[in-house]
Chain A
Amino acid sequence: MQTAESRAGHTPLLEARGLSKDYGDTRALDSLDLTIAPGEVYCLLGPNGAGKTTTINLFLGFVAPSGGQALVSGLDVATHDRETKQRLAYIPEQVMLYRNLSGLENLEYFAALGGRGSVGRERLTEILVEAGLERDSVDRRVSEYSKGMRQKVGIAIAIAKEADALLLDEPTSGLDPKASNEFSALVERLRKRDVAVLMATHDLFRAKDTGTRVGIMRYGRLVTELSTDEIGHADLERIYLEHMHD
């Protein structure tokens, strides 16, 4: 796998420059610097409150930074809200969909809002199947879907958008091992299409397995950054736990 350094010729798709966020007196994110190049999967590890979701929210423009910049393809999120979002896809911990619509209708809706309204129903059905949904489920109302099935629709939404970068917030939380594996395989396919992926997760195994780089966060700070090529599962767990002790 290539590292960010080996892709130095590329403009980073996702970049944080001294990115900070304060909520009142609490510093949720403290001078984060990171770059994620096309074809990279960057996993942010850390306990609750470490600043992982805040980082994703800053890239999505859902909150304004207290300092620094979040850049997508070199564009500042704070001043190019729409343009940067058009380059991003986002899958939250719980993909929430419209219960009265089918999986296909949900995908049609989100794809259209993402600027992919011209994609036909057949192609969208193929994308749902590619995301792991059974073909005979695509026309069923989402109210009948399991969490795993909703998560697959979320992946399909990301695929259909053909975004340059993907933001994942605890995407495998609550999924069974098989579904988590399928999810990792999908992320790998997107990586091979040169999509830059930023994934916030608690799952050390998934981070090592799916990521190209891992960043460990604590108290809003990025305390270390590792290449997954250079460490094993046990190393990652040990390093992680070392950083979690005061």
Chain B
Amino acid sequence: MIRHIVRKEFTDVVRDGRFRWCSVLVGSLLLISLGHGWVQARNAQQEHAAAQATAREHWETQGEKNPHSAAHYGIYAFKPRLALSFVDEGVDPYTGTSVWLEAHRQNDFLLRPAQDATAAQRIGALTAAQVLQHLVPLLIILLTFGALASERERGTLRQLLATGIGRRELAAGKALGISGALALLLVPAALVGAAALVVASPGPAASPLARGTVLAGVYLGYFTAFLALSLAVSAWARSARTALVILLAVWVVNGLVAPRVAVDLSKWLHPTPSAFEFARTVQSEMSTGVADISPPDRDASTQRLLAEYGVERVEDLPINAVGVYLQESEEFGNRIFDRNYGALWDTFERQGVVHEMLAVAAPLLAVRTLSMGLAGTDVEQHRHFATAAETYRRDLMRQMNGDMTENSLTGDFSYAAGAELWESVPPLQYAAPTLGWVLGNRILSLLVLGAWLAGAILAAVARVRRAEVG
């Protein structure tokens, strides 16, 4: 019985000129944003690879110099664009994708496209994720608001129910028919996305197909929740116009109001310092230390080395005491960085939790978090890379200071290392987090989205059962 309703509903929707125009518009935007995102991601990846190779070449060919000078010379690290980043660029335009690794400093990331964007670009930047998160739900609303309300208004609901068909069967058939029509739009886009991923992945692999499959599941759940919610409202509302107004209000709250409220509320609950304040605090603590982290004492360090090696003069030490002191300074700086950056990252994470919790009021917030997470462009994965880059920087500094310590004597400023040392430094090998790591971080969003889906379906079932014939 349901198949007849599905077929009729599908035919009815597909023949509707409004659907055709809307789907052409949304489909075009989706394909354009996918294509544009893919080209951008590929270009960024190629530029990063080229820049990384150049930076490495500069490092290896920097000539003979003191290892600590080489540490100051530094090297750039580029955050790889993961394969799915062409779907959702997430926070990358705001956090940056490259960082200069040098002695004594944990630098901020550079290359933030948002910094270079014009005002118009900031407003109009379109990604596939935005189309999926905002426009597809709008299309679902436009297709579904009249599913039962219009039937009731037109009088066809009486005729339909008089045939013996149940309300639930009717609603299920309508939902499947509308889904079929939407599939005409979304399946080709999903296939294009999958093909882009498989044939010419724009970024390095980090289980892209598994991530892509889960991402598709997340959006499917989001769309199903909207479809069920729209059916529930259509069954409940006295008229199709009322149903449309209610659903458009839900769409505005979900897509426009809730994200803004989430940003403001999370900042209010967990404030973050301005970039200037943060830099000033780090600089101040680096100069004087804090209660439990003191700057290294050069004299004490020297005395410890003299005692350790059983000599009375610094000149008699078999190692370079300056190298030891420089490494101790690094360790001190690292503790200050860990303290400040750790607190900053933790605040960002707490802000993220506020976003995830507010998804109870707006499923978009859960979907957005999951989408960025699966695309590898969320704050947590930015932190993951930043931590890896910082670990690499610290290893590099340790190696440079260690070489200086072991291969020169205190006061010997003529020591210079060469290409052999530079080449012995391995390039940064970054392994992106696994799918399990990403999902483990996003349990709350998964649960909230699941609750939205279950709640919307239950509401639809309950409202449809009680739908008035008119």
Given A60-B162, A85-B164, A88-B162, A96:B155 Cβ within 8 A: yes
Residues of B close to A92: CB separation below 8 A: 155, 158-159
Please determine whether B159 and A100 come into contact, CB atoms closer than 8 angstroms: no
CB closest residue in chain B, given A169: B158
9-residue interface stretch from A108-116, A124-132, A183-191, A192-200: A108-116
Give the distance to chain A from B83, nearest Cβ to Cβ, in Å: 41
CB closest residue in chain B, given A82: B164
Interfacial residues of chain A within 143-162, with CB under 8 A of chain B in the complex: 154, 157, 161
* Cβ-based interface call for A164 (8 A): no
* Cβ-based interface call for A90 (8 A): yes
Separation of A98 and B257 alpha carbons in the complex (Å):
37
Separation of A86 and B15 alpha carbons in the complex (Å):
30
Question: Which residue of the partner chain, among B11, B155, B159, B469, contacts A110 with CB atoms under 8 Å?
Answer: B159
Please determine whether A113 and B4 come into contact, CB atoms closer than 8 angstroms: yes
* Cβ-based interface call for A226 (8 A): no
Separation of A63 and B166 alpha carbons in the complex (Å):
14
Please determine whether B158 and A117 come into contact, CB atoms closer than 8 angstroms: no
Give the distance to chain B from A186, nearest Cβ to Cβ, in Å: 18
Proximity string of chain A (84-113) to chain B, C-beta cutoff 8 Å, 1 when within and 0 when not: 011011101011111011000100011011
Please determine whether A161 and B163 come into contact, CB atoms closer than 8 angstroms: yes
Residues of A close to B5: CB separation below 8 A: 113
Please determine whether B161 and A62 come into contact, CB atoms closer than 8 angstroms: yes
Please determine whether A114 and B163 come into contact, CB atoms closer than 8 angstroms: yes
Total residues of chain A contacting the partner, CB 8 A: 30
Residues of A close to B469: CB separation below 8 A: 57, 62-63
Separation of A95 and B5 alpha carbons in the complex (Å):
19
Give the distance to chain B from A163, nearest Cβ to Cβ, in Å: 10
Residues of A close to B161: CB separation below 8 A: 60, 62, 85
Give the distance to chain A from B146, nearest Cβ to Cβ, in Å: 12
Please determine whether B165 and A113 come into contact, CB atoms closer than 8 angstroms: yes
Residues of A close to B312: CB separation below 8 A: none
* Cβ-based interface call for B125 (8 A): no
Please determine whether A100 and B155 come into contact, CB atoms closer than 8 angstroms: no
Q: Which of B12, B15, B164 has the most CB of A within 10 A?
A: B164
Please determine whether A90 and B162 come into contact, CB atoms closer than 8 angstroms: yes
Give the distance to chain A from B21, nearest Cβ to Cβ, in Å: 15
Residues of B close to A85: CB separation below 8 A: 161-164
Residues of A close to B159: CB separation below 8 A: 90, 92, 95-96, 110, 154, 157
Separation of A82 and B162 alpha carbons in the complex (Å):
9
* Cβ-based interface call for B156 (8 A): yes
Please determine whether B165 and A96 come into contact, CB atoms closer than 8 angstroms: no
Residues of B close to A96: CB separation below 8 A: 154-156, 159
Please determine whether B11 and A115 come into contact, CB atoms closer than 8 angstroms: no
Separation of A63 and B162 alpha carbons in the complex (Å):
12
CB closest residue in chain A, given B164: A85
Proximity string of chain B (1-27) to chain A, C-beta cutoff 8 Å, 1 when within and 0 when not: 100110010011001100000000000
Separation of A96 and B11 alpha carbons in the complex (Å):
18
Interfacial residues of chain B within 157-183, with CB under 8 A of chain A in the complex: 158-166
User: Once A and B bind, how many residue pairs between them come within 8 Å at the CB atom?
Assistant: 66
* Interface SS, A side: mixed
Please determine whether B12 and A113 come into contact, CB atoms closer than 8 angstroms: no
Please determine whether A62 and B8 come into contact, CB atoms closer than 8 angstroms: no
Proximity string of chain B (238-276) to chain A, C-beta cutoff 8 Å, 1 when within and 0 when not: 000000000000000000000000000000000000000
Give the distance to chain B from A118, nearest Cβ to Cβ, in Å: 12
Proximity string of chain B (446-470) to chain A, C-beta cutoff 8 Å, 1 when within and 0 when not: 0000000000000000000000010
Please determine whether A101 and B163 come into contact, CB atoms closer than 8 angstroms: no
Give the distance to chain A from B77, nearest Cβ to Cβ, in Å: 58
Given A82-B164, A100-B15, A114-B163, A109:B8 Cβ within 8 A: yes
Proximity string of chain B (202-227) to chain A, C-beta cutoff 8 Å, 1 when within and 0 when not: 00000000000000000000000000
Separation of A175 and B165 alpha carbons in the complex (Å):
29
Interfacial residues of chain B within 324-353, with CB under 8 A of chain A in the complex: none
Question: Which residue of the partner chain, among B11, B154, B155, B163, contacts A113 with CB atoms under 8 Å?
Answer: B163
Separation of A110 and B1 alpha carbons in the complex (Å):
11
Please determine whether B156 and A109 come into contact, CB atoms closer than 8 angstroms: no
Residues of A close to B12: CB separation below 8 A: 98, 100-101
Please determine whether B1 and A100 come into contact, CB atoms closer than 8 angstroms: no
Give the distance to chain A from B142, nearest Cβ to Cβ, in Å: 16
Separation of A154 and B156 alpha carbons in the complex (Å):
11
Please determine whether A100 and B11 come into contact, CB atoms closer than 8 angstroms: yes
CB closest residue in chain A, given B157: A96
Give the distance to chain A from B323, nearest Cβ to Cβ, in Å: 82
Separation of A4 and B162 alpha carbons in the complex (Å):
26
Residues of B close to A95: CB separation below 8 A: 159
Residues of A close to B8: CB separation below 8 A: 98, 101, 105, 109
Residues of A close to B1: CB separation below 8 A: 112-113
Please determine whether B155 and A112 come into contact, CB atoms closer than 8 angstroms: no
Please determine whether A112 and B4 come into contact, CB atoms closer than 8 angstroms: yes
Residues of A close to B158: CB separation below 8 A: 60, 62, 90, 92
Residues of A close to B165: CB separation below 8 A: 113
Give the distance to chain B from A221, nearest Cβ to Cβ, in Å: 24
Given A105-B11, A112-B4, A113-B1, A98:B156 Cβ within 8 A: yes
Separation of A140 and B165 alpha carbons in the complex (Å):
26
Separation of A98 and B15 alpha carbons in the complex (Å):
11
Question: Which residue of the partner chain, among B11, B160, B166, contacts A101 with CB atoms under 8 Å?
Answer: B11
CB closest residue in chain B, given A116: B163
Residues of A close to B4: CB separation below 8 A: 109, 112-113, 117
CB closest residue in chain A, given B13: A100
Residues of B close to A101: CB separation below 8 A: 8, 11-12, 15
Q: Which of B15, B162, B469 has the most CB of A within 10 A?
A: B162
CB closest residue in chain B, given A62: B469
Separation of A17 and B254 alpha carbons in the complex (Å):
52
Some 20 contacts from A to B, beta carbons below 8 A apart, are A60-B158, A62-B161, A88-B162, A90-B158, A92-B155, A92-B158, A96-B159, A98-B12, A100-B12, A100-B16, A109-B4, A110-B160, A113-B1, A113-B4, A113-B163, A113-B165, A114-B163, A115-B163, A117-B4, A154-B159
Besides A90-B159, A95-B159, A98-B12, 12 new A-B residue pairs in contact (Cβ under 8 A), listed by A number: A63-B469, A82-B164, A82-B166, A90-B158, A97-B156, A100-B12, A101-B15, A113-B1, A113-B163, A113-B164, A113-B165, A117-B4
* Chain B residues engaging chain A, CB cutoff 8 angstroms: 1, 4-5, 8, 11-12, 15-16, 154-156, 158-166, 469
Pick the 4 closest A-B CB pairs, nearest first: A85-B164, A90-B162, A112-B4, A96-B155
